[in-house]
Amino acid sequence: MKNLNKLIIFLSLTIGVLITFLPFVYMIVCSFKTNAEIYTLPISFIPKKFYLENYHRLFTEIPFARQYFNSTFIASVQTVLNVFLASLGGFGFAKYNFKLKNFLFIFLLVTMMIPSQVGLVPLFLMMNWFRWIDTYWAIIVPGAVSAFGIFFMRSSMMGIPDEILDSARIDGASEFGIFSKIILPMSTASIGILAILTFTGSWNNFMWPLIVLSSDTKMTLPVGLTTLMNLYKIEYGMLMAGSFLSTVPILILLILVGQKAFIRGITVGALKG
């Protein structure tokens, strides 16, 4: 009975994992197939021959390398800004008492409920007015800080004892000095989690970049990939190659540093929210 239970649990989870991996594997397989071969029955998980032309065409027919740089640059800058500003805000809410604290914190929580799509049209008009359309600015600046980031950093900084701050003050440290020399080094674990979450969020962001980026040399990867699907022709082989390459950094993050961090990051929201 016990062994049977064990087997059933193990088997169902294994099937679940196989289903999870299958589309990924098939995507990678198809990136080495010609378009004609993708549309051939029976479905095969082994390409007839390792067809590399999809990858070659990806780098020659569209500015894929440039788009890779765009995504990396935007995600990195956004991550640094978010981590810094969220740490500042989180510190302010976690370690100080001030008159408007409760009001501002509730306001912050309410902003998390407002879907960003509501202000999409005016935000676009604003970007147009700033002459930021088709520039990195339009993505980086409005996304420089998130309410979630502050909420997340606050939760972790609340655990730092006040005595440490007080003794630093007696030693004559400035408030910003306390923040940069004591609080930040003590929060590296949370900073790492927030950095990973922000980076992947920015890397995968689609709707807003689709709206504000129009030239292919400015596009991020998700937007650039959609240019391979137009009304007249869908380049499946290239799409699969591009999708695979654009997922590689995320896969590396998940395998190397992310696993525990990702899971800790997401559960903070669930347990405290």
273 binds other proteins (CB under 8 A): yes
215 binds other proteins (CB under 8 A): no
77 binds other proteins (CB under 8 A): no
Could you tell me the smallest distance in angstroms from the CB atom of residue 145 to other proteins? 5
Residue 53 CA to residue 241 CA, distance in Å, equals: 10
Q: Choose the binding region for other proteins from 46-54, 55-63, 186-194, 215-223 (rule: CB under 8 A).
A: 215-223
Q: Choose the binding region for other proteins from 59-67, 72-80, 160-168, 265-273 (rule: CB under 8 A).
A: 265-273
Q: Please, where are the H alpha helices in the chain?
A: 2-30, 35-38, 53-61, 64-95, 101-111, 120-129, 137-140, 147-157, 162-170, 175-178, 184-186, 188-204, 207-212, 221-226, 236-253, 259-272
Residue 243 CA to residue 251 CA, distance in Å, equals: 12
124 binds other proteins (CB under 8 A): yes
26 binds other proteins (CB under 8 A): yes
Q: Choose the binding region for other proteins from 49-57, 60-68, 185-193, 264-272 (rule: CB under 8 A).
A: 264-272
- Is the CB of residue 254 less than 8 Å from the CB of residue 262? yes
Rank residues 142 and 192 by Cβ distance to other proteins and give the closer one: 142
User: In the range 33-62, which residues lie near other proteins by CB under 8 A?
Assistant: 38-43
> In the 8-state DSSP scheme, what is residue 9?
H
254 binds other proteins (CB under 8 A): yes
Rank residues 170 and 255 by Cβ distance to other proteins and give the closer one: 255
Question: Residues 192-227, buried b or exposed e (16+ Cβ, 10 A)?
Answer: bbbbbbbbbbbbebeebbebbbeeeebbbbbbbbee
118 binds other proteins (CB under 8 A): yes
Residue 144 CA to residue 82 CA, distance in Å, equals: 5
98 binds other proteins (CB under 8 A): yes
- Is the CB of residue 116 less than 8 Å from the CB of residue 143? no
Could you tell me the smallest distance in angstroms from the CB atom of residue 1 to other proteins? 12
Residue 253 CA to residue 267 CA, distance in Å, equals: 18
Q: Of these, 115, 161, 172, 185, which contacts other proteins (CB under 8 A)?
A: 115
User: In the range 166-195, which residues lie near other proteins by CB under 8 A?
Assistant: 175, 179
CA-nearest of 36, 21, 20, 22 to 236 is: 36
Q: Choose the binding region for other proteins from 55-63, 72-80, 122-130, 186-194 (rule: CB under 8 A).
A: 122-130
SS3 44: coil
27 binds other proteins (CB under 8 A): yes
Binding-residue total with other proteins (CB under 8 A)? 96
